[in-house]
Structure 1
């Protein structure tokens, strides 16, 4: 797993909807990594739009 450490770190920061707490991966983030590593299809836009919608409807989480 060591060769993918920087890749996973970059993916979490780039596609995470959270403002902090980057030390743990959620299940959908692990699915993203596995899809990219194994060259499988994955609907990234669905995840991005889902959390964009949540951020708009729920307002500020601070």
Structure 2
């Protein structure tokens, strides 16, 4: 569920950045596909980063 939230917010924020940068360049046709691809790539990066920093082994001296 948290990865869906990351995907949602990355799509929203990258689309906003796309709109602002397009407006600064004088308008024109708004590209919607490229920011979606960037948002998916960013979400995959976040997932891989999350998997990389999780501890994989439990210490035998700690009781849970």
Shorter-chain TM-score range: 0.3 to 0.5
Determine which structure has more spread, i.e. the larger CA radius of gyration: 2
- Normalised by the size of structure 1, how large is the TM-score? 0.37
Q: Counting helix residues as a fraction of each chain, which structure ranks higher?
A: 2
- Normalised by the size of structure 2, how large is the TM-score? 0.36
